[in-house]
Amino acid sequence: MTTPEFTLLGSKRNAPIDSEELETFPKPEGLYEVEFTTRELTSLCPITGQPDIYTLTVRYTPDALCLEAKSVKLYLHRFRNIGVFAEELAVVIAQDLQRACGATTVSVEAAQQVRGGLSFTARASAGPRGDDV
């Protein structure tokens, strides 16, 4: 198998970067699902400007391409400066990831850290065989 050319993976950077670029590589034969999880996703409340902290779980069924993990990490990092409600955050991530790799389905679960005693989770999916939110 040939190795794709990555611009983000292996790059040496001293400061965190934000990226809208999502890199892909050919799906290995036999792979049927991929899952990413992070407890470090942050965005800003669009009303108060206060940080919202999420545990994010992404599951996708690749068609021909897989998402490269570092590019996903850098893509998610950019939300730290964006004011967005959890519901829209989940939808935008699902749609962007689906567009980038052409996955059959992408599901996103954004579970916001407890705030004021309230637990909150937003779920979205995208793809030609998903709910295509």
Q: Is 96 a catalytic residue?
A: no
pTM of the model: 0.84
| 6, 18, 20 from 80: Cα distances, Å | 24, 9, 13
- Which sequence spans correspond to the domains of the chain? 24-126
Q: Does domain 24-126 have CATH number 3.30.1130.10?
A: yes
pLDDT at residue number 127: 85
Q: Which one from 45, 63, 96, 132 is the annotated catalytic residue?
A: 45
The H or E element spanning position 54 is: strand 51-61
Is 52 one of the annotated active-site residues of the chain? yes
pLDDT digits (tens), the chain, 133 positions:
555 666 655 565 544 556 678 999 999 999 999 999 999 999 999 999 999 999 999 999 999 999 999 999 999 999 999 999 999 999 999 999 999 999 999 999 999 998 888 889 999 999 875 554 4
User: Which CA distances in Å does 97 have to 9, 19, 33, 76, 118?
Assistant: 17, 13, 14, 11, 28
